[in-house]
């Protein structure tokens, strides 16, 4: 349980930093968006991976698509930018998770 909470907090902040790096405005609003989006997608992704479909790559692809749609509407950006932003944010958290797992 403790590790899931740490993963959730790290995900929120890492993805916030990535999103803020693209938008460079309204940091508290972007942090709130990161909180909301990841509070929805991280538990769903974790549940899906552990109990339904244990293919991590496919679960991550679905998360990128879902978060991309959220970001498109929340940030009022086009689909291509939203998907790119989601891909970079999720790749960042994925890589941090892999590195963390090896420590």
List pLDDT tens digits, range 26-64. Answer: 999 999 999 999 999 999 999 999 999 899 999 999 999
Distance CA 21, CA 97 (A): 20
Residue 9 has pLDDT above 90, yes or no: yes
Q: How many other C-beta atoms can be found within 10 angstroms of the C-beta atom of residue 1?
A: 5
Torsion angle, alpha carbons of 57, 62, 34, 26, to 10: 110
Residue 2 has pLDDT above 90, yes or no: no
Please tell me the pTM assigned to this model. Answer: 0.90
User: What is the average pLDDT value for the chain, to the nearest integer?
Assistant: 93
Phi and psi dihedrals of 78, rounded to 5? -75, 165
**Which class for 79: exposed (0-12), middle (13-18), buried (19 or more C-beta within 10 A)?**
exposed
């Amino acid at each position: 349980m403790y590790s899931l909470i740490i993963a959730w907090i790290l995900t929120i902040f890492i993805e916030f930093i990535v999103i803020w790096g693209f938008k460079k405005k309204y940091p508290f609003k972007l942090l709130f968006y990161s909180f909301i989006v990841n509070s929805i997608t991280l538990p769903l992704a974790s549940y899906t991976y552990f109990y339904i479909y244990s293919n991590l790559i496919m679960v991550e692809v679905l998360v990128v698509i879902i978060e991309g749609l959220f970001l498109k509407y929340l940030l009022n950006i086009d689909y291509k930018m939203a998907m790119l932003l989601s891909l970079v944010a999720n790749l960042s958290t994925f890589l941090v998770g892999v590195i963390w797992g090896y420590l």
